[in-house]
Amino acid sequence: MTMNVLGYAATHAKEDLAPIRFERRDARPDDVVIEILYCGVCHSDLHTARNDWGWTTYPIVPGHEIIGRVVAVGRDVTRFKPGDPVGVGCLVDSCRQCDACASGEEQYCDGATYTYGGEDRHDHTKTQGGYSNKIVVSETFVLRIPDRLDLKGAAPLLCAGITTWSPLRHWKAGKDSRVAVVGLGGLGHMALKLAKALGAEVTLFTRSKGKEQDARRLGADHIVLSGVEAQMAAVRGRFNLIIDTVPYVHDLNPYLPTLAMDGTLVLVGYLGGLEPFLNTTPMVLRRKSVAGSLIGGIQETQELLDFCGQHGITSDVEVIPMQDINVAFERMLKSDVKYRFVIDMATLKAR
Ligand code: NAP
Ligand code: ZN
């Protein structure tokens, strides 16, 4: 048996997203059935819809910042009951046996199943994401949402939040560290908030004049215009950690001199070859690293949600109806987002 679900899908790299009806499985014993209330719009949804990474198969229903309410549970589910507010991020399953899974870092499991465009390891069907009214997920991959968090603002924590939280934690950002963030979009604004809440001194690198006031409100102590050489020179040797959220190829060479000795620049935005060449001299002379990082594990995502519950942290969101998704994608390409679009899924059935 399957359940019929309504959503929005991309059917071709050059076509707008449009309504679709598709099937999801009925709940298996360990599954939670969730009515989706909100879904954040991540730049990865846009990359996937337009096949920027070359691995999209169509039709694809994007969306991996999912907030909803439990409507039913399988007989073995112990942690959730109907009515609970819950979240689903970028992962819906993993092999559950490898070293990565054993250490709670399911995102690095070879058998990790992504929320959309993945393959269910039991029935081999393709997974489809949160631009839809219902989803069925094994309870192990369902997150609890702390009571005090606004549900709309909590949705982006499930990707933008955890993707920046994980490197902040891995590289031990805290009150003695100086953290910089490159790019003020969905990931960038969460990075500012989280780094600040962890006690770090926080700097934003941005291409955009005019984001200064927002950046300060979001937690930045300093703002550096990345195109202005004098401003870049003024922060030479400064940062222990730089989180780079820029989605497209860009020159990393101007940033490496701004790292302190032993500092790390971690790429979370761009996937692919670097251009122009990367000058290793600043790395060799001061033991600096260039690294990458992928979302975060389930346990770490729950830790982030609980931290946000304690500190009252949510994303700054612009709520949109489902029908406006194609306009939202175009605005995202122009960096015209303050600072995350979130789809109100009630609009999917209303029209
Ligand atoms: P976003 O909201 O569009 O923000 C990207 C920001 O990067 C922009 O606001 C802009 O900030 C800056 N930027 C610099 N050069 C740009 C360019 N050529 N075009 C557009 N923006 C540019 O995107 P996001 O949702 O934060 O996602 C950022 C990237 O992270 C995407 O590539 C996404 O796929 C990736 N991602 C990775 C993971 C992971 O696990 N590693 C998870 C989620 C998303 P300024 O105006 O301040 O310069
Ligand atoms: Zn994402």
Residues with CB under 6 A from ligand 1: 42-44, 47, 159-160, 163, 183-188, 206-208, 211, 245-248, 250, 268-269, 293-295, 332, 335, 337
- Best probe residue, ligand 1, of 108, 255, 335 (max atoms within 8 Å of C-beta): 335
Rg of the chain on CA atoms, in Å: 20
For residue 187, the ligand 1 atom closest to its alpha carbon is 26
CA distance linking residue 267 with residue 322, whole number of Å = 30
pLDDT at 56 over 80: yes
CA 245 from chain center: how many Å?
Answer: 10
What 3-state class would DSSP assign to 299? helix
Q: Atom 12, ligand 1: which residue's CA is nearest?
A: 183
Instruction: Find the ligand nearest to 187 CA.
Output: 1
Give me ligand 1 centre to Cα 57, in Å. 23
Query: How does 265-278 read in b/e, with b if 16+ C-beta sit within 10 Å?
Result: bbbbbbeeeeeeee
pTM above 0.75, yes or no: yes
Crossing angle of helices 186-197 and 298-311, rounded to 10°: 70
pLDDT at 228 over 90: yes
pLDDT at position 1, please? 75
Give me ligand 1 centre to Cα 67, in Å. 22
pLDDT at position 219, please? 98
Confidence of residue 5 (pLDDT cuts 50, 70, 90): very high
CA distance linking residue 111 with residue 66, whole number of Å = 22
pLDDT at position 350, please? 54
Scan for tokens 């979001």, then name that residue. 218
Confidence of residue 34 (pLDDT cuts 50, 70, 90): very high
Give me ligand 2 centre to Cα 99, in Å. 24
pLDDT at 173 over 60: yes
pLDDT at position 318, please? 98
pLDDT at position 99, please? 98
Give me ligand 1 centre to Cα 41, in Å. 12
Each residue's pLDDT tens digit, 294-326 = 999 999 999 999 999 999 999 999 999 999 999
Q: Which residues surround ligand 2, an ion (CB under 5 A)?
A: 42, 44, 159
Q: Atom 10, ligand 1: which residue's CA is nearest?
A: 183
Query: Structure tokens of 290?
Result: 């260039």
Region 264-275: mean pLDDT is: 96
CA distance linking residue 194 with residue 192, whole number of Å = 6
pLDDT at 209 over 70: yes
Q: What are phi and psi of 45, to 5 degrees?
A: -65, -40
Give me ligand 1 centre to Cα 218, in Å. 17
Instruction: Find the ligand nearest to 163 CA.
Output: 1
CA distance linking residue 202 with residue 180, whole number of Å = 6
Average pLDDT, the chain: 97
Give me ligand 1 centre to Cα 191, in Å. 12
Q: State what percent of residues in the chain have pLDDT above 70.
A: 99
Instruction: Find the ligand nearest to 294 CA.
Output: 1
Q: State what percent of residues in the chain have pLDDT above 90.
A: 99
Instruction: Find the ligand nearest to 248 CA.
Output: 1
What's the sign of the alpha-carbon dihedral 247, 262, 165, 137?
Answer: positive
pLDDT at 351 over 90: no
Each residue's pLDDT tens digit, 76-127 = 999 999 999 999 999 999 999 999 999 999 999 999 999 999 999 999 999 9
